[in-house]
Amino acid sequence: MSSDTKQAWAGGGAFFAGIVLAMMGIWQAFVGIAAIAKDQFFVVGTEYLYKFNTTTWGWIQLIVGVIAALAGFYIFTGATWARVIGIIFAVLSGTANFFFIPYYPVWSIVMIGLAIFVIWALAAWRPDREWRD
């Protein structure tokens, strides 16, 4: 794959990553609100190694979600700081969802996959580079 093709994919991917990161953040915030409001909503098996208070995880999900959503919106500016924050919060979101697997397994795995894509797209994109046709 040529460098220009890679940048085209990464540029489109970064635009998509901004949208996905914003959506992930919003969804994660809603999951956090649900866990805070009604912690009995999420059920976990008794033999899971990482056992945490659901309300605490709700607050973590809410805070990470709000910041990730804001980072997703700022990615459209192309600013390096926005991409760095986007990568950091995609990593945090993926990690938080790893620990959330026993509560919502399919949701968590989908969110981890999206976080991986966001990390790749934001790391590979170089908005200062001109693309050639």
Please state whether 78 falls in left (phi above 0), alpha (psi between -120 and 50) or beta. Answer: left
- Does residue 132 fall inside a structural domain? no
Range of the domain at 81: 13-38+47-124
**If you search the block for the tokens 């979600």, which residue do you land on?**
65
Q: Residues in the chain, how many? A: 133
- Does residue 130 fall inside a structural domain? no
What gap in Å lies between CA 50 and CA 56, rounded to an integer?
13
Does this model's pTM top 0.85? My answer is no
- Does residue 97 fall inside a structural domain? yes
Q: What is the pLDDT of residue 51?
A: 63
- Does residue 31 fall inside a structural domain? yes
Number of domains in the chain: 1
Q: What is the pLDDT of residue 30?
A: 92
- Does residue 8 fall inside a structural domain? no
What gap in Å lies between CA 42 and CA 33, rounded to an integer?
12
- Does residue 96 fall inside a structural domain? yes
- Does residue 7 fall inside a structural domain? no
Beta-carbon contacts of residue 79 (< 8 Å; ≥ 6 apart): none
CA angle 128, 115, 71 (to 5 degrees): 55
- Cβ–Cβ under 8 Å, residues 24 and 64: no
- Does residue 131 fall inside a structural domain? no
pLDDT averaged per 10 residues, the chain (length 133): 69 81 88 83 62 78 87 83 86 86 87 89 71 43
